[in-house]
Structure 1
Amino acid sequence: MVRGRLLLASGADDGTVRVWDPETGEAAGELLTGHTGPVNTVAFGTTLGGQLLLASGADDRTVRIWDPTTGETVGEPLTGHTDWVRAGAFGTGPDGLLILATSGADRAVLVWRLLAAPQTT
């Protein structure tokens, strides 16, 4: 994948995530695999250093962080939800660092502070 390109992402019932080039309608890279349940949410965010990240949340109660330009995972899966992960959104914390908020069927909202490797706060 080429840096600076517009990208979209989608999650599927088979536990995969696909990154798309919306200009061509073609897949931009290989399927992202690792979830063991349907993927319910995907979100893009950018670190202070300009690295594009993609988060996915699934019925397997995990959130995975991906580098969508390489298809590699960033860190270990984020765990803490006790039921399906339903939504996720990136934002910027007061210190300027990237944060990710996720919510689930467990009625919990978890906020993850993303440093070199994802950590929860």
Structure 2
Amino acid sequence: ISPDGTSVASGSWDNTVRIWDAATRIQIGDPLQGHTSVVHSVAYSSDVTRIGSAPYDKTIQIWYTTAGVQIGDPLFSHDDWIQSIAFSPDRTQIASGSA
């Protein structure tokens, strides 16, 4: 759920991230595509301008929320799949946890 409560981001079995309007439950825009496996974890930045996503392929991708485009290359940081991710309040860092 976005920090402002207006939208919900979900990871999907089709390797995408989807953004939903929290009030209407209607998908906003096209799915965010670029992962190579099931997306397990998603997180919003504090200002809702970015979404981080982590699939089973042990990477993290950062997206511009409104444009739906990936920011930079995927981050490779774990030897096992990533169970959770979170942005720092100032959006300059992202934390991730793995098994």
- Common fold by TM > 0.5: yes
What is the match of residue 29 of structure 2?
29
The alignment-based identity, stated in percent, is 36
Calculate the aligned-residue CA RMSD, in Å: 1.9
Distance 1:97 1:33, change over 3 A: closer
How far apart, CA to CA, are the structure 1 residues paired with 2:43 and 2:18? 12
For these two proteins, the number of residue pairs brought into alignment is 96
1:45, 1:98 within 8 Å by CA — same for their partners in 2?
no
What is the match of residue 44 of structure 1?
44
- Structure 1 gaps of 5+ residues are 106-121
2:98 corresponds to 1:104 = yes
Higher Cα Rg, which structure: 1
SS at match of 2:63: strand
- Structure 2 gaps of 5+ residues are none
Q: CA deviation at 1:51?
A: 6.6
What is the match of residue 13 of structure 1?
13
- For normalisation by structure 2, the TM-score amounts to 0.86
- For normalisation by structure 1, the TM-score amounts to 0.72
How far apart, CA to CA, are the structure 2 residues paired with 1:97 and 1:73? 16
How far apart, CA to CA, are the structure 2 residues paired with 1:41 and 1:28? 19
